[in-house]
Amino acid sequence: MAVTSPSIPQEIARPVAGLRRQRFTLERALSPLLLAPSAVAIFVFVYGFIVYTFYVSLSNWKSAKPDLSLRRPVGVIYADLFSQTRFQIDLRNTVVFTIMFLILAVLGGLALAILLDRHVPASGFFRSVFLFPYALSFITTGVAWSWIFNPETGINLLFDAAGINRLLAAFGTGPLKPGWITDPAVIWQLNGPLATVFPAVGDWSLKLGVPVAMIPVAMAAAWQLSGFAMAMFLAGLGTISNEVREAAALDGASDFRLYKDVIIPLLNPITVSVLIILTHVSLKIFDLIFAMSGKGPGFATDVPGIFVYEMIFRAQRYNLGAAAAIVMLASVALVIVPYLARQLKSL
Amino acid sequence: MASAPLPVTSACAPRRKGGVGRYIVLALLIAATAFYLMPVYVMVINGLKDKSYMTLSDMWKFPLYLDGGGFPLAWKTLSPNLWASLRMVIPATILSSLLGAVNGYLLSKWKFRGSDVIFTLILFGMFIPYQAILIPLIRFLDQIGLYGKWQGLVLVHVIYGIPITCLIFRNYFTNVPTELVEAARIDGAGLIQTFFQIILPLSLPAFVVVGIFQFTNIWNDFLFGVTVVFNPADQPVTVALNNLNGTNSVDWTVVMAAAVLSALPTAIVYVLLGRYFIRGLLAGSMKG
Amino acid sequence: MQDVTKTLTTRASRRGVLKGSAALGLGTLAASSLGSRFAAAQDEPGSLEVFSWWTSPGEAPALQALFDAYLAKYPGTEIINAAVAGGAGVNAVAVLQTRLQGNQPPDSWQTHVGHELVDQYVVPGYCEPITDIYESEKWADVIPAGLVEQATWESNQYSIPVGVHRGNGFWFNKQVMKDNGIEVGDTMTVDEFFAAADILQKAGIPALALATKDTFAAAQTFENTLLGAVGPDTYRALFKGEAPWDSPEVRAAAETYAKMLDYVNPDHSALTWDGATALIIEGKAGFNSMGDWAYGEFVSKNAVDNVGWVSHPGTNGSFVLVVDSFTLPKGAPNAENAKRWLRVVGSKEAQEAFNPLKGSIPPRTDVNREIFSPYHQWSMDSFAKDALVPSCAHSQASSPAFKQAFYDASLAFVTDKDVDTYIAMLSDAQAMDAETTS
């Protein structure tokens, strides 16, 4: 669960030139030398291994026996991958999960930060509670929420206890008993409307919609990571000077206007950082879903992370698993590389 | 400003409101607290239950007696893995913190041509999905004889911990006044002496931040644990917990107790040292 | 104070003496096996690492029985039980694969015979042939040829079967049937099932307990249904790639399966297979299509008296083989102990100890029938006379890649019940498989 933002602070002052230059030539050479082991390790373990994985994706390695001969036509595995119904579902799920999770975690984190910005007693306690889930593993979170969103236990028992179902029975309707992570339905399907514009969509077997079982999963993820967003926003709020607030108050702005028109726009850079960090977490999501709902009913909660794991370690289709891993990496890079490039410029 | 400015605690609106508004805010916060603690509540109270007199439909109720419930069996099942996690996490945390301190020092105080590019390239390593390096990683570990061994897992965590530890230390050292380093240089101290005499004595807060952050990250890892180590008794506790949850033959009270046990170390660190934890989280996120 | 301590000590030592004399009584019993112990003690007993996925309460004691049989012959050996939990071995197989690729084999591992043994372990070169042990132990005389053949590749044997499971069991709670006035005979047809299912549905009980969290049960229920619909010959031909999947017969099987799925428990995706057997035990569902490892669960939960069984509807006369066996790895760390282990687990004594606990029947036909439960004896009769077919859900009938496709297609089918897509996915998998093997 390593998420942290890599915005890099400005160098305050660069080492000044002058007399040190000659005396410390040796020292200057020492710096890259001492950095080399770590740099080399990263180049091998990150970049070298990525190249290797990419090569595996182009190879014939699809059984227990490694076969690193090149498969021809080169790259056809990616066509195989994208034509797999399961992988198409996984891509849809990733998009849907990312959107739901970002809305819940970012808005939730912002709301909590604003509430805590309001001078309440015991704000330190509240802050600690909201950030607490961040210290837990995705596996623990997944296990805990799998019990809460199980149709036979958890939330549904609360509905019973609250008397909702007795009330519903009195009106002659069935009990309120959502299937949560076991519900296979895909709601808000866009296939019909899209087919009127792009007729080809009509032939798709993939349902473009929101898999219901993904909703509880996104909630669990937001539970875990909204505290991160809150901490980021709180830190940002702390940098907004009281003069800004007071000026707005003098202008007679309501609290609502103060936040909407002044403070939240000022937090924009932080919002961007939070969005980028959480999007990349969401694209990589694996452990939480693995422990909470698995692939879900009809792959309703399956994601590329699980697909890669199963293709490599269960089906032993190494090339297909590697290809899916490269697709995951590419999607993460799409979000992260521009961010890092911007950071590099500001160094 | 020797330490990164993280004004989390000072965040506040002008104190001008009283009355009803405050109570609404408080009520909302209490409701949110109930939501955030709900899973913790479920895990703890069900872990404490005994299946002989409670069923799953009593999930939200308090246990009738306080006799340990599923905890003794959960402890018995998980203790090898808790120890395995601890044995792996502690050296990995220490090694990656030391490595991070050196790298952060070099990249902040001894920049050279291209060092910023190298830094950015190193940073990318913390964002990759590890699925994309798993196949060659396992082959490599096998080549050096560390595949399946907990020492191999330590190595993996140290290497993939380089970017994050480097980032936090670099940002911390960037805020150490360069004049201090310059003064040491004028006194004739070289790169290594400056590190030990000037930088290291100032670094304790950064070590605490990085240490906590890495301890939590490594403890909570699942993917490396499940693929690099295969002996069930040597696997980290996250893997053992997931295996336990995957079978209905184990009592649900034991599963919930096990979830609590597996989370306990990071939870304790968080409760005791939460302030540093937040710093690690935010390290680098605020412009210096 | 001292007096008290003294009294306590004396008491303790008296108790110790009593214990000692009891131990002497046991000692004389153990003396008979002293001879073999002595022989074994000549060389260092060393260690033996056995890899399996037997961790559940119905499986772990059975594995322990094999260990006990080994230790009785070779006392002092340090047995390392490298068992990995997780539904029907899916986690374990992943772990084992990574170990083997990393050249870190255990001394022996559990595998199903057939394609799983051959494709995953023998062809990649992870196994040593054990033909010489087959000959010296004369196993071919006591194990049916049809089964030995499943452990054979290019005329060498590579594993020794220890237990035979019947994959097409259909289990039910007798009390639930009685309460709802359903009579279950010795066999069940598809129509009889649907008649019973309608009655149960009216009573608010899901007729079919299904667990799809670990996927294999969805595939297994389909393969059983398929077998019932097309018969053993076509079933074998399908998995050998000699019959097309887009045939009217397969389509009919998928349609029957779709209809059965109308009667499943709604929370199936949250359950693993033992969760579904628990539904039968608790009377919360009617039937469960499951291999007879479920029997081990019924025994361990003291529910066996209330549980009845037939063959999966329409599969009477067929026996879906799910056979556990042990291998000899190339480069086993303790190769001598590994060979001893195989001799032990192939012995009559070990198989008689193992199988009643595991809920399977011995592959050896020279065992004492009397020590087995009525269910086991029923299964032995079926084993002796019925058509033996391999299970795809348990990796025996196909390559792992086809199996994964079969799993994926079945899991999708459980929710969308889309027969056309199902048939298309299975046909695609068959085409892909043909390309791989060519």
Over range C342-365, report the average pLDDT.
93
Q: Give the percent of chain A with pLDDT over 70.
A: 93
Does residue C20 have a pLDDT over 50?
Answer: no
Domain A87-346: assigned CATH number:
1.10.3720.10
Is domain C169-314+399-437 classified as CATH 3.40.190.10? Answer: yes
What is the model's pLDDT at position C90? 62
| pLDDT of res. C31 | 37
Q: How far is CA C431 from the centre of its chain?
A: 29
Chains in contact with C, where contact means 3 or more Cβ–Cβ distances below 8 Å, are A, B
A contacts of B222 (beta carbons < 8 Å):
137-139, 286-287, 290-291
Instruction: Report which DSSP code applies to A12.
Output: S
Non-local CB neighbours of A306 within 8 Å, separated by 6+ positions: A90, A286, A289, A290, A294, A295
Average pLDDT score over chain A: 87
Asked if C52 contacts B232 with a C-beta cutoff of 8 angstroms, the reply is: no
Q: Is C101 on the interface with B (CB under 8 A)?
A: yes
pLDDT at C3: 38
- Candidate from B227, B247, B248 with C-beta closest to C98: B227
Domain boundaries, chain A: 87-346
Q: For each of chain B's 288 residues, which pLDDT tens digit applies?
A: 333 333 333 444 444 455 677 888 999 999 999 999 999 999 999 999 887 777 777 888 888 877 888 899 999 989 999 999 999 999 999 999 999 999 999 999 888 999 999 999 999 999 999 999 999 998 899 889 888 889 999 999 999 999 999 999 998 898 888 888 888 888 888 888 889 988 999 899 899 999 999 999 999 999 999 888 877 788 899 999 988 886 656 678 899 999 999 999 999 999 888 888 777 777 644 332
Q: Which chains touch B (3 or more CB pairs under 8 A)?
A: A, C
Query: Rounded to whole angstroms, how far apart are CA atoms C250 and C233?
Result: 13
- Report the candidate in C217, C223, C148, C238 with the shortest Cα–Cα distance to residue C430: C238
**Model pLDDT, residue A173:** 76
Q: Quick one: pLDDT band at residue C43, thresholds 50, 70, 90?
A: low
Structural domain boundaries of chain C?
A: 45-163+323-380, 169-314+399-437
Pair C294, C171: CB distance under 8 Å: yes
Q: ipTM of the predicted structure?
A: 0.89
Cα distance between residue C200 and residue A60, in whole Å: 51
Structure confidence by residue, pLDDT tens digits, A262-274: 889 999 989 998 9
C-alpha distance from residue A318 to each of A81, C104, C400 (Å): 12, 19, 12
Q: Are C184 and C195 in contact (CB under 8 A)?
A: no
Query: Which of C90, C125, C399 is nearest residue A314 as measured by Cβ atoms?
Result: C90
**Cβ-contact A68, A62 below 8 angstroms:** no
Q: Could you identify the residue written with the tokens 């797999």?
A: A84
Residue A248's contacts (CB-CB under 8 Å, 6 or more residues apart) are A257, A258, A261, A262
Report chain A residues whose CB lies below 8 A from the CB of C212.
297
C405 contacts in A (CB within 8 Å)?
315
Q: How high is the pLDDT of residue C361? A: 94
Q: What residues does C264 pair with on adjacent strands? A: C208
The CATH label, of 3.40.720.10, 1.50.10.10, 3.40.640.10, 3.40.190.10, for the domain at C45-163+323-380 is: 3.40.190.10
Q: What is the pLDDT of residues A70-125, one digit of tens each?
A: 998 999 999 999 998 899 999 999 999 999 999 999 999 999 999 998 878 888 89
A 201-240: CB under 8 A from B: 223, 227-228, 231-232, 234-239
DSSP letter, residue C171: E
A281/B contact by beta carbon, under 8 A? no
CATH number among 3.40.50.20, 3.40.50.720, 1.10.3720.10, 2.40.50.100, domain B71-282: 1.10.3720.10
How does the average pLDDT of chain C come out, rounded?
85
Mean pLDDT value of segment C376-389:
91
B122:A38 CB<8 A: yes
Shortest CB distance from C415 goes to which of A66, A181, A184? A184
- What is the residue whose two structure tokens read 């036509």? A73
